[in-house]
Amino acid sequence: MTEDDIDTRAFVARQSRRMMSFALYRRLRSEIESWDREERGKARVVAGAVGGLAAWIALLIATALLQPRYAGLLLPIGLVAWVALVIVLIRRHLGERRNRP
């Protein structure tokens, strides 16, 4: 074997290790970024759910004070609306990203 052959093989081996290292880095980085997106999505869902719950309770209290006979009707309707809001928030912020970058 010539010295050029040894140098070439060493160069190819080093470049191969660098390429594998870079590929592993990119894969781990994308995994961490997906975790970050998921955590931000969870925070948005919780914020929206708490806001919707607060609005529903405020509306329920206002209705109970102003029109008590409608408060009983607003309780189940508001609950269903709040659950629907939470489901929409979950689908929007934690759903599978298909065509989005």
- In total, how many domains does the chain have? 1
pLDDT grade, residue 5 (50/70/90)? confident
pTM of the prediction?
A: 0.69
Alpha carbon of residue 62 to chain centroid: 34
pLDDT of residue 84: 96
What tens digit of pLDDT does each residue of 15-50 get?
999 999 999 999 999 999 989 999 999 999 999 999
Q: Judge whether 99 lies within some domain.
A: no
pLDDT of 100 > 60? The answer is no
Q: Judge whether 43 lies within some domain.
A: yes
Q: Which two tokens stand for residue 70?
A: 């409608």
Block residue for tokens 């509306």: 59
Range of the domain at 20: 3-94
